[in-house]
Homo-oligomer: A and B are copies of this chain.
Amino acid sequence: MEREHYSRQFDTELNEIREKLLEMGGKVELMINDALKALVDRNSALAEKVIAFDHQINRLEMEIDERCLEVLARRQPAARDLRFITLAMKIVTDLERIGDQCRNIGKRSIELNELPPLKPYIDLPRMALHASIMVKEALNAFVAGDDQLALKVCRDDQFVDDLNEQIQRELLTFMMADPTAIARAMKINHVAKCVERIADHATNVAEMVIFMIKGKDIRHTAL
């Protein structure tokens, strides 16, 4: 009876970690959307808000990390639960670094807002939306232990990479045609690289989830 009570409490603790992680993921998604909105709408106040919000993400990372350590120390879980908790600790690090990328986009947006617009943003918001969906799905794959969804995230990374290449090619033509466009194009290129990194973090999470579930390393096999 007591054992059952103990195990139920443990389940509650694992669920708390799951929920906290999804909460952090939700905030990170919002941050991606706001960072891109600040860029597209040339809204420097929103960009400042994104930059300031990064503190909250860092706090959440530490909170979840501490919570995981506590549960590890007290419950001393084995096998699957141990893998789940240690992976959660790796995933919060990826989420925190996505927050860093959003902060970088915020900084570049403020700089870009001080210069005349180069062109309307079309592919960048699409790329960012796609990346934020990848983040959401990678986390869902983790909490649900869904390797098929994780595999989808890994495959989707190609689309983000393709969009990034398309953006780079387009920026190149702007730079070739007009030397005064080069500095701005380099900043936009930096933003595209930040979004690419966000998608990379989501892919990293998805790869680790697949490894947790299947015990199979997919990083160097064709999908």
Residue ranges of A at the interface with B (Cβ–Cβ < 8 Å): 54-55, 58, 62, 68-69, 72-73, 76, 78-79, 82-83, 86, 89-90, 93, 97, 168, 172, 175-176, 179, 182-183, 186, 189, 193, 204, 211, 217, 219-220
Contacts of A73 in B (CB 8 A): 78-79, 82
Contacts of A97 in B (CB 8 A): 204
Given A90-B90, A217-B58, is A176 in contact with B172 using a C-beta cutoff of 8 Å?
no
A–B pairs, 15, beta carbons within 8 Å = A54-B220, A58-B219, A58-B220, A62-B217, A68-B86, A69-B82, A72-B82, A86-B89, A90-B93, A93-B204, A97-B204, A168-B186, A175-B182, A189-B189, A193-B193
A69 touches B83 (CB 8 A): yes
Q: Complex Cα distance A58/B219, Å? A: 8
Count identical subunits in the complex. Answer: 2
Closest CB of chain B to A86's CB: distance in Å?
Answer: 6
Closest CB of chain B to A125's CB: distance in Å?
Answer: 22
Q: Complex Cα distance A112/B219, Å? A: 26
Closest CB of chain B to A102's CB: distance in Å?
Answer: 15
B168 touches A172 (CB 8 A): no
Closest CB of chain B to A130's CB: distance in Å?
Answer: 21
User: Given A62-B211, A72-B86, 15 other A-B contacts at CB below 8 A?
Assistant: A54-B220, A62-B217, A72-B72, A73-B79, A89-B89, A89-B90, A90-B93, A172-B183, A172-B186, A175-B182, A176-B179, A176-B182, A179-B179, A186-B189, A193-B193
Closest CB of chain B to A79's CB: distance in Å?
Answer: 7
